Structure 1
Amino acid sequence: MNGGLEPQTPPDSPSMDAGVGKPPRHHLTSIRHCASSARIAAAAAAASPPDYGLDLGTLSLISPTDVRTGFLPVFRSGSCAEIGPKSYMEDEHVCVDNLIEHLGGRAAGIPAPGAFYGVFDGHGGTDAACFVRKNLLKFIVEDMHFPTNVEKAIRGAFLKADYALADSHSLDNNSGTTALMALIFGRTLFVANAGDCRAVLGKRGRAVELSRDHKPTCKSEKIIIEKLGGTVFDGYLNGQLAVARALGDWHMKGPKGSISPLSAEPELQEIVLSEEDEFLIIGCDGLWDVMTSQCAVSIVRKELMQHNNPEKCSGELVQEALKRDSCDNLTVVVICFSSNPPPQIEIPRSRVRRSISLEGLHLLRGALDSNA
């Protein structure tokens, strides 16, 4: 993530090597849409088959009919981090597949199974990203609202980490970081994001975005920035930072408690996982700058079906992003929710000829549903 600031000191964490990935068959960009799945269904119901021959099976996937209500995910993760073309590595990440074991005596009252993952894209040095990686989970668990109100605990932990960076005398005041974390208890998944990292769920081959990129040029973020006295110049907050939300950066925020257009407040998403939810991809913007969410899900699903190894999948995504000339550090974590590889997707026969790829089918369905 290009925060508009050059790092002061090189990081001391080595980059990880990854195998050479295979390029995807198709790379689709965004699709404009003006109809929802519900409207299409209504039109199909009103039309007689001889006139239209519209089979809604071409816009949906066959889902298993025997979904077990007692489903519990099994957490397996793999990560890959590469310095890319930049001079220093400023990304950090964390993977905890067994939260109960990781917390030990502090795990009392926490539902099982549990897991925790995060990616942190630093700028202006590595101090902020390293600090947040080491302390965010601890701040969540120690919050007075945990575990009875997880959402409040997460929000409180983000703000506590931000204030701790302001109070520290040993960390660089010019250092900042974006933060995206995924916390899972049983089937409940919490995603919290401040910045432009992204979390994408793979749902039977379809990409479902669980976070929003906080760019200064985003309309809603730009409105907030300007209401708080900031400006967006050439895509940068106050002409300095390429994100609208971040932890740290206290040289821009001013004294604690003062009004600042740069916020550490995270956006949260909570969902209940089902058997259709196969894996989660979380990554810094070095990946998403050159790859759509659907493309990443298609690559990971194809690779999992071949070797069922989430670490190799994360390496495939990083290598593919480098082939596409990503200009940033690259960090990707892939989290699987089953010990088995994804099943083969069966597309029902259609009464009309179809010339859209499977990836395009997933992307179209997601676009239509999001507009319903």
Structure 2
Amino acid sequence: MEDEHVCIDDLIQHIGPASTIPLPGAFYGVFDGHGGTDAALFIRNNILKFIVEDSHFPTCVGHAITSAFLKADYAFADSSSLDISSGTTALTALVSGRTMIVANAGDCRAVLGRRGRAIEMSKDQKPDCTSERLRIEKLGGVVYDGYLNGQLSVSRALGDWHMKGPKGSACPLSSEPELQEIILTEDDEFLIMGCDGLWDVMSNQCAVTMARKELMIHNDPQRCSRELVREALKRNSCDNLTVIVICFSPDPPPRIETPPSRVRRSISAEGLNLLKGVLDC
């Protein structure tokens, strides 16, 4: 188990009185390590610092996050006491007011639960994905049997400096994240962040359906995270398992009612999503 994670529900309190954060915020991350734990632990401990200390923060948060991923990767490369050949994927979610920015480098995944419907908030960055394969081959890399240069099953990661060139040079293995920004509404109930060990055995909709059902019963996101991990283990997941569930309201998800119809009985879109999740499971 080489994963790390971070959960900060109150950014202003965490950073202290010198905080430049203009609105109440939170920060979460999942880091799926490989080749040792050094990279995952280093990025987990330092990525937020690089974000809030970036010159673009907080006026241009997306730019600050992208810059922070690169700076954290370079800082890790300069750590003489750590094994810089270890690597990690990095999936983060920064919430500021009602704005949420998800950043991803690797194959962890964030999925939003919106009134029972699964909304994918990140894209798995695999070497055999068309856009990633084109980028890799343009930079002189190859994809062999789904692996970058026959070695790594992700096309973006921090660390793995035995596979990268000099700092600042373009290389097939990138540490630059892809970002997705969203304005949260009352329909957005929770976010699931998990490493690929979860998504290898469970669809997005199945995870959202299961999480929503659990939250309606006990409204405990930590317990909900554990239940998702247990379910993945029951399904014989063969990889590391780290799951975070973040709720956007102190209240449990409401029961979804089907509006009455004078013409005929029908099922709402939300109801169809719930049914699809049960069938997927």
TM-score band w.r.t. shorter chain: over 0.9
1:263 aligns with: 174
- Aligned pairs for 1:274-353 (under 5 A) are 274-349=185-260, 351=264
C-alpha displacement of 1:166: 1.4
The answer to whether 1:103 aligns with 2:50 is: no
C-alpha displacement of 1:112: 2.6
Of 205, 211, 215 in structure 1, the residue corresponding to residue 116 of structure 2 is 205
SS in 1 for 2:26: strand
1:144 aligns with: 55
Find the aligned partners of 1:279 and 1:135 in 2 and give their Cα distance. 25
Which residues of structure 2 form unaligned runs of 5+? none
Find the aligned partners of 1:258 and 1:282 in 2 and give their Cα distance. 30
The answer to whether 1:94 aligns with 2:6 is: yes
Describe the superposition over 1:295-332 as per-residue Cα deviations: whole angstroms up to 9, x where unpaired. Answer: 00000100000000001100110000001110011000
Find the aligned partners of 1:263 and 1:335 in 2 and give their Cα distance. 28
Alignment check: 8 A CA contact 2:92 2:104 kept: yes
Find the aligned partners of 1:338 and 1:314 in 2 and give their Cα distance. 16
How many residue pairs are counted as aligned between the two chains?
273
**Aligned AA (1:167):** D
SS in 1 for 2:245: strand
Find the aligned partners of 2:188 and 2:274 in 1 and give their Cα distance. 19
- Aligned pairs for 1:16-27 (under 5 A) are none
- Aligned pairs for 1:209-248 (under 5 A) are 209-248=120-159
Alignment check: 8 A CA contact 1:197 1:213 kept: yes
Alignment check: 8 A CA contact 1:304 1:313 kept: yes
Alignment check: 8 A CA contact 1:189 1:271 kept: yes
SS in 2 for 1:105: coil
Whose relative contact order is higher, 1 or 2, with alpha carbons under 8 Å and at least 6 apart? 1
Describe the superposition over 1:189-243 as per-residue Cα deviations: whole angstroms up to 9, x where unpaired. Answer: 0100000000000000000001000011111111111111111111100000000
Describe the superposition over 1:350-370 as per-residue Cα deviations: whole angstroms up to 9, x where unpaired. Answer: 63677x97446567xxxxxxx
**Aligned AA (1:171):** L
Alignment check: 8 A CA contact 1:119 1:331 kept: yes
C-alpha displacement of 1:255: 2.0
C-alpha displacement of 1:260: 1.0
Describe the superposition over 1:165-204 as per-residue Cα deviations: whole angstroms up to 9, x where unpaired. Answer: 1111111021010000000011000100000000000000
Alignment check: 8 A CA contact 1:151 1:268 kept: yes
The answer to whether 1:121 aligns with 2:32 is: yes
Find the aligned partners of 2:80 and 2:190 in 1 and give their Cα distance. 40
Stretch deviating more after TM superposition (343-352 or 279-288): 343-352
Find the aligned partners of 2:218 and 2:112 in 1 and give their Cα distance. 20
**Aligned AA (1:101):** Q
Find the aligned partners of 1:120 and 1:274 in 2 and give their Cα distance. 27
**Aligned AA (1:316):** E
Find the aligned partners of 1:90 and 1:128 in 2 and give their Cα distance. 9
The answer to whether 1:183 aligns with 2:73 is: no
Q: Structure 1 residues 222, 159: CA separation in 2 closer, same or farther (over 3 Å shift)?
A: same
Find the aligned partners of 1:91 and 1:244 in 2 and give their Cα distance. 18
SS in 2 for 1:95: strand
**Aligned AA (1:342):** P
SS in 2 for 1:154: helix
Find the aligned partners of 1:204 and 1:111 in 2 and give their Cα distance. 29
Alignment check: 8 A CA contact 1:196 1:213 kept: yes
Alignment check: 8 A CA contact 2:30 2:90 kept: yes
Alignment check: 8 A CA contact 1:200 1:208 kept: yes
Find the aligned partners of 2:66 and 2:106 in 1 and give their Cα distance. 14
Q: Over the residues paired in the alignment, what is the CA RMSD in angstroms?
A: 1.6
- Aligned pairs for 1:37-52 (under 5 A) are none
**Aligned AA (2:242):** T
